[in-house]
Amino acid sequence: MDIKAYIESGVIESYLLGMADAEEVAELQRLSLEYPEVVAAIKEREQWLREFSEATGRPASGGTKEQLLKSLHKEFAVTSGSVHVINRRFKFVAAAAVLALFVSAAGNVYLYRKYTKATGDFVALQKEQMQLLADNQSYHARLTTFDHDLKIMSQAGVIKVPLAGVKGKEGSLATVYWDMQSREVYLIANNLPAVPPGKQYQLWALVDGKPVDAGMISDCAFSLCYLKRVVNAAAFAITLEKAGGSAAPTLDQMFVIGNVKS
C-alpha cells in the first residue's frame, strides 16, 4: 500500500473534522497500528488545527458547515457504479472546503481584531490631540491674561502697594496696583487662605481716616482683578466678610494691610 498517497488522500483531515465514515475510521485505526508515519501525520494535523484555532478564534458556525456540505453533496451526486471512488473524492474536497472555511473565518477574526486595535489607537490619538489642543488654548489664554496684567502693572502712573499679613496671619499676602491717574484699583491675591462657605474677602481703602469699600474679591489668585476706583487712599486692607460684603470692615477678621507710599 502506498502510505504516502494514503496520507495525502484527505482521509486524515476527514477523520479529524468528523466527516469519515465507519469503514474509513476502521481502516485509519488499523493502518495507525502498522505504520508510524500515519500516527505522525494524525498528530501533526491535530496539532496544526489546535494551534490555529487557539491563535485565531472560533471556526465557522455549524449551520454554515452543514450548508457547505449539502452543496458539495449535490455537486458530487453520481450513479451507484462510481459511488466509492467519488465518495472518497467528495470526502477529500469537503475536508478541504471545511478547512478553507475555517481558515477564512479565522482570518476574518484576525482582521477584525487588527481593525479594532487600529480603531482604538486612532481614537486614542484623537483624544490626545484634542487634549493637546485644549491645553494649548488654555496656555494661550493664560499667556494673554499675563501679558494684559503685565502691561497694567508696568504702565506709567501705576503704583504697587504690597499688603502683608497681620499678626497671627503672617503668611497671608496680596498686592494692589493703583492707577494714580484713572484711580482704577487692581488686585492679585498672592496668598490668602481658602474662603469658608458663605464668606468672601473684601478690599478696603483708608480714605481720610475712614475705611471705604473698594470691592469684593473673587478669582484673583492667578491674575489681576479689577475692583473699584479709589481716590486719595492712604492704605489698603482685606477682611473676611459675609458673602456679598459688609458696610464696615470686621477688624478682627483682617488678613492683610499695606500703606500707600508717596
The full set of domain ranges for the chain reads 3-112, 158-259
Identity of the highest mean pLDDT range in 38-47, 84-93, 186-195? 186-195
238 close to 255: Cβ distance less than 8 angstroms: yes
Q: What is the pLDDT of residue 2?
A: 85
Please list, in sequence order, all residues whose beta carbon lies within 8 angstroms of the beta carbon of residue 47, skipping any fewer than 6 positions away.
none
Q: What is the pLDDT of residue 95?
A: 58
**What is the identity of the amino acid at 184?**
E
The DSSP H or E segment spanning 237 is: strand 233-242
- Strand ranges for 62-194 from DSSP E: 158-165, 173-179, 185-191
pLDDT surpassing 70 at residue 61: no
166 close to 255: Cβ distance less than 8 angstroms: yes
158-259 fold: Immunoglobulin-like (2.60.40)
pLDDT tens digits for range 67-84: 545 554 555 454 444 444
DSSP 195: P
pLDDT surpassing 90 at residue 91: no
DSSP 197: T
150 close to 160: Cβ distance less than 8 angstroms: no
Q: What is the pLDDT of residue 166?
A: 95
Radius of gyration of the chain, Cα coordinates, nearest whole angstrom: 44
Residue 43 has a CB neighbour count (10 Å cut-off) of 10
- Of the two residues 219 and 31, the one the predictor is more confident about is 31
How far apart (Å, rounded) are the C-alpha atoms in residues 12 and 10? 5
186 close to 226: Cβ distance less than 8 angstroms: yes
- Of the two residues 169 and 131, the one the predictor is more confident about is 169
Under the banding of pLDDT at 50, 70 and 90, the label for residue 147 is confident
How far apart (Å, rounded) are the C-alpha atoms in residues 104 and 107? 5
Q: What is the pLDDT of residue 86?
A: 42
